[in-house]
Structure 1
Amino acid sequence: MDFSLPGPPNWPSMLKSGCRVFVGGHASVPHALVQNLIDNSKGFSDIELVHGLALGDTPWAKEEYRQLFKVNTFFIGGDEVRRAVDEGRADYTPCFLSEISSLFTDGTLALDAVLINVSPPDEFGYCSLGASVDICMSAVRHTKLVIAQINRHVPRTAGHSYVHINEISACIEADEPLIEVTPPPIDTQAERIGQYVSMLVEDGATLQFGIGKIPSATLKYLCNHKELGIHSEMLTDSIIELLESGAVTNRKKTFHPGKVVTSFAIGSRKLYDFIDNNPHIEFYASSYVNKPTNIAKNDNMIAINSALEVDLTGQVVADSIGYDFYSGIGGQVDFVTGASISRGGKPIIALPSTAKNETVSRIVASITEGAGVVTSRGNVHYVVTEYGVASLKGKSIRERALELIRVAHPKFRAQLLEEVRTHYWVPHYQEKYPTDIPELGGIQLQKLVIQGETFYLRPLNPADERRLQEFFYSHTKETLRLRYNYDPKQMSREKSCNLVSVDQSSDAALCIVRQDGSRVTIHAVGRFYYYPADNSCEAAFVTRETHQGKGMASRLLARLIDIARQRGIAKMMAYVRAANKPMITIFEQHNFTRVFSDDPTEVELVLKLEDANV
């Protein structure tokens, strides 16, 4: 079938001063079409241009066009638009990405015309919106006039991305490459964050992610996962490696199984070629992709989003720096909400711990004056920095503060603990802030698979106060007697706090935990106390009864011996009840030798660390 293109726009007959025009965005802004409007704008004034993130040059936001256009953006991006918003020549309208279309349908932002960038029509007359379906499709469906730039560089994408040529009132033919965004290099900081986030992703999960170093690093560390799916508002170049690795099959998805679901793509030409005529990747309107109840139809939905700062209660600032609006709400709240109600879902906020060359902490006692909360403290389950994973769901304000201080940059932790005392109740005995174990390296978390179960080995920290208390009360009288040489009746919060508040640069305390969603359970604890008088240390362990005999104590001991040796400690000692033969065996398996003891009920063991062969 042969479909003829409509003629070029006759702007004076189509528009008038004061009308509202939507401009397609992201990488697919119809730049030539907008320039055509500018070139034929004589007699026009006060045209409101509505758009989301617009990549590339945005001349309509320049000072010289302030009488012609008034910009109203849902997402601030680019120097010209940001400057216009800062100077009051442009407006920023915060709105969840899933709900922007409703502004067009209910007349809140009724549209007079829509400017879009589309592929040439196929044999049936259908043009594709290509890499930017998002809110463009909703705008097209709720406007009086659709004016298009027919562009051979626009990829043809599967899904609901098509506009029939008969729906287009006017067009120009202008072949312009889509704006390319080169993936940023992944630095050490992003690498660590990506590793931590990847540990929260289980095989069979469905992913949502954004753009930048952290998502790129995360996807890199997911290439060895299995049966992953993707339901994400946007795609970047990182998806190509993940798909080619075989980690993504989409077979386990419970919503649109077998398909990658998205609404727009931002990346290089390689990405745009990859999505072109790719039947495995389907594009839909943001009102569909970002609808929280649709997101939640995916079991094990993992939403990975970023932030500018997070306060110690878990409030997330994502669109403003103080009083300066920086970006937009976008789809963060949509996906955080959807993931939180998904069966097995995990909403994750991932961000660097500092800004401005480590002079400013992004984990703050209270949000910066003027900044706005995008995601509430009630929605956030996990906050990840290069220093670890803070688990917030079900945590009290005090527990949240300790969790978040733990993942803050070490040089800000003492200050944050002191600042939180001025705002929230912190008991007098909560004196120490979390410290890392340098010998564990950049990643303070090690994944362990023990008899088919997944556990994590990490430092014990002040946020474990309640967990250690629960661990204590899980023990039988026999375990307590063998560990403590008597039958202690109580583990007060104060005593538990003292046990988990460890100066890890001197002593060392490790634990093995099981994490089921946001619930963390301690299954084994191992520690040593350092004695500077003779450069020695004393080791001790306790394991939950249900997991004794599985090698947890042995793993902890091996790691503690390694830490002590790296610190140049001369010897490690242990005092074990004579009746505790399994524990004695573990020490002897690690080359500890018995020494004479005056107490027949106790066995003393010593390991000369310089001779250790572990």
Structure 2
Amino acid sequence: MIDLRPFVSAGDGVWWGQGGAEPEPLVNALLDQVGEIGEVRAFCGLTWNPRLAGDLPDELTVLSYGGLGELRRLSRHGRLDVVPCHYSALPRMFARGQLPADVGLVQVSRPDGNGEVSLGIGVEYAADAIPHSRVLVAEMNHRMPPTAGSARLPLERFAAVVETDRPLAEASTRPADAVDQAIADNVAGLIEDGDTLQMGVGPLPNAVLDSLSGHRELGFHSGMITDGVLTLVEKGVLTGARKEIDRGIVVTGAALGTAEFYARLGEFPVEFRPASYTHSPAVLSRLRSLVSINSAIEVDLLGQVGAEIRRGVHIGAVGGQVDFSRAASLTGARSIIALRSESAGESTISPALRGGIVTTARVDVDAVVTEHGVALLTGCTVAERARRLIRVAAPRHRSTLENSLADRELS
């Protein structure tokens, strides 16, 4: 185990990469040694590290932009401090010292012939935080693939390097079911040939990708890609031939998939860019064909989206949803919110957001899609939006929603 005490001091702020790019051995070393180091504030994103699930050392404070992966459990135990922000704001927040950035823990590839390493499948906010970090410590994983699209780092930039040869963390999601497929088919009906897509990860996005196999000349520009994206590239569906910028290239900040997917990334026209590019309003405004496809916990009868909190626990994030939804709605082609009509027996279309927090404003949502259909909202009055949303709600909840609509005098 590496001794981090020469590099991390009491009062420092530490950040590390997320998902498959999380440098878990370095994070675990910090957890083991922080009691001797003293109080440390740490920032991270999506994590599957079970040691970050709740029982943390008292000296460590964990911040994140949301409750993703094991951070949900941390939130449930009251040990997660959420910094609500657009994903596009992370680069500026690191630059201004508003997020912990004294020490960066990163996972990198083996060096190339020039002695330089790649951030591999986790460029995103890491690339934007690095210039503002006093110290960098690297896990050099022999299985991290070098990727194209962003600058590489010389080995001398790191204060210490630990070599590993371990599998990258893989996405573990349930297979898409009949409900996911019905939603996906409804979403696919809104996609035109030549559109440039943004979407997240999980069973529903995977089902959407499967439903697009009959489309042509689609593009992709997103914060993250999965196996399904490369499948569509192989099928000749995702060509990027009509993209207004980065033509012919799949642009992403990170990858999250299977071991085979990671191993084959170099065979495809994929470029990994920092969050300051992938989520930049200036960049997204140039993609006139942009269609954003995002999920939610709930949508109210005004069309407001809640994607962060359920029963007082952070289980989601603002993330890039607003960045992409707003761009797609204002300067792109269409902003779509796709979700199941029920969750744990409750309607996900509700009179008011149970979580109490609006993630995406109603004016940034063009369509809400469930397994029961599509509610096109743009250009509709408040009352008509509500009626359309009720029509795509689960049938057994519609009468209750209609009664609430009458009580609020929106009808």
- Name 2:302's counterpart in structure 1: 313
Deviation at 1:424, TM superposition (A): 2.9
1:386 corresponds to which of 371, 375, 378: 371
Deviation at 1:232, TM superposition (A): 1.0
Q: Give yes or no for the alignment of 1:363 onto 2:352.
A: no
Matching residue's letter, 1:331: G
Q: Give yes or no for the alignment of 1:287 onto 2:273.
A: no
Larger Rg: 1
Do 1:206 and 1:231's aligned partners in 2 also have CA atoms closer than 8 Å? yes
After superposition, the Cα gap between the structure-2 partners of 1:256 and 1:416, relative to the gap in structure 1 and judged at 3 Å, is same
Deviation at 1:32, TM superposition (A): 1.2
- Name 1:324's counterpart in structure 2: 313
- Name 1:304's counterpart in structure 2: 293
After superposition, the Cα gap between the structure-2 partners of 1:121 and 1:225, relative to the gap in structure 1 and judged at 3 Å, is same
1:83 corresponds to which of 73, 87, 91: 73
Matching residue's letter, 2:278: V
- Name 1:522's counterpart in structure 2: none
- CA deviations over 1:437-465 (Å, ceiling 9, x no partner): xxxxxxxxxxxxxxxxxxxxxxxxxxxxx
- Name 1:68's counterpart in structure 2: 59
2:29 corresponds to which of 26, 30, 36: 36
Q: Give yes or no for the alignment of 1:49 onto 2:42.
A: yes
- Name 2:213's counterpart in structure 1: 223
SS, match of residue 405 in structure 2: helix
Matching residue's letter, 1:231: H
SS, match of residue 159 in structure 1: coil
Q: Give yes or no for the alignment of 1:23 onto 2:4.
A: no
Bigger shift: 281-290 or 9-18? Answer: 9-18
Taking the aligned partners of 2:5 and 2:105, their CA distance within structure 1 comes to: 15
Do 1:158 and 1:278's aligned partners in 2 also have CA atoms closer than 8 Å? no
1:246-265 maps to which residues of 2 (within 5 A)?
A: 246-265=236-255
4+ residue runs over 6 A deviation: none
Taking the aligned partners of 1:69 and 1:398, their CA distance within structure 2 comes to: 49
1:14 corresponds to which of 7, 22, 36: 7
Deviation at 1:329, TM superposition (A): 1.0
Do 1:229 and 1:252's aligned partners in 2 also have CA atoms closer than 8 Å? yes
Do 1:61 and 1:71's aligned partners in 2 also have CA atoms closer than 8 Å? no
Taking the aligned partners of 1:162 and 1:383, their CA distance within structure 2 comes to: 41
- CA deviations over 1:361-386 (Å, ceiling 9, x no partner): 00111111x43110011111000001
Do 1:329 and 1:374's aligned partners in 2 also have CA atoms closer than 8 Å? yes
- CA deviations over 1:211-231 (Å, ceiling 9, x no partner): 122211111111111111110
Taking the aligned partners of 1:280 and 1:240, their CA distance within structure 2 comes to: 9
Deviation at 1:60, TM superposition (A): 4.6
- Name 2:338's counterpart in structure 1: 350
Matching residue's letter, 2:395: P
Deviation at 1:309, TM superposition (A): 0.5
Taking the aligned partners of 1:10 and 1:27, their CA distance within structure 2 comes to: 23
1:474-489 maps to which residues of 2 (within 5 A)?
A: none
- CA deviations over 1:223-282 (Å, ceiling 9, x no partner): 11111111011101111221111111111000111100000111111211121x346100
1:119-518 maps to which residues of 2 (within 5 A)?
A: 119-160=109-150, 162-275=152-265, 277-278=266-267, 280-343=269-332, 345-356=333-344, 359-368=345-354, 370-426=355-411
Matching residue's letter, 2:51: P
Q: Please list every run of 5 or more consecutive structure 1 residues that lacks an aligned counterpart in the other structure.
A: 1-7, 427-614
After superposition, the Cα gap between the structure-2 partners of 1:361 and 1:279, relative to the gap in structure 1 and judged at 3 Å, is closer
Q: Please list every run of 5 or more consecutive structure 2 residues that lacks an aligned counterpart in the other structure.
A: none
SS, match of residue 88 in structure 1: coil
Q: Which has the higher contact order (CA 8 A, sep 6+)?
A: 2
Do 2:31 and 2:57's aligned partners in 1 also have CA atoms closer than 8 Å? no
Taking the aligned partners of 1:82 and 1:354, their CA distance within structure 2 comes to: 21
SS, match of residue 335 in structure 2: strand
- CA deviations over 1:140-174 (Å, ceiling 9, x no partner): 12110111001011111110152221211211112
Deviation at 1:103, TM superposition (A): 1.0
SS, match of residue 158 in structure 1: coil
After superposition, the Cα gap between the structure-2 partners of 1:83 and 1:212, relative to the gap in structure 1 and judged at 3 Å, is closer
- Over aligned residue pairs, what C-alpha RMSD do you find? 1.7
Matching residue's letter, 2:304: Q
Taking the aligned partners of 2:310 and 2:376, their CA distance within structure 1 comes to: 25
Taking the aligned partners of 1:69 and 1:76, their CA distance within structure 2 comes to: 17
Bigger shift: 42-51 or 97-106? Answer: 42-51
- CA deviations over 1:418-477 (Å, ceiling 9, x no partner): 111111332xxxxxxxxxxxxxxxxxxxxxxxxxxxxxxxxxxxxxxxxxxxxxxxxxxx
- Name 1:108's counterpart in structure 2: 98
Do 1:103 and 1:110's aligned partners in 2 also have CA atoms closer than 8 Å? no
Do 2:300 and 2:351's aligned partners in 1 also have CA atoms closer than 8 Å? yes
Taking the aligned partners of 1:58 and 1:116, their CA distance within structure 2 comes to: 18
- CA deviations over 1:295-354 (Å, ceiling 9, x no partner): 2211221100000000011000001114222121111001001111234x1000000011
SS, match of residue 115 in structure 1: strand
Deviation at 1:122, TM superposition (A): 0.4
After superposition, the Cα gap between the structure-2 partners of 1:279 and 1:361, relative to the gap in structure 1 and judged at 3 Å, is closer
TM-score (norm. length: structure 1) = 0.65
The alignment of Structure 1 onto Structure 2 pairs a total of residues equal to 411
Taking the aligned partners of 1:182 and 1:41, their CA distance within structure 2 comes to: 30
Identity of aligned residues (%): 35
SS, match of residue 84 in structure 1: helix
Matching residue's letter, 1:349: I
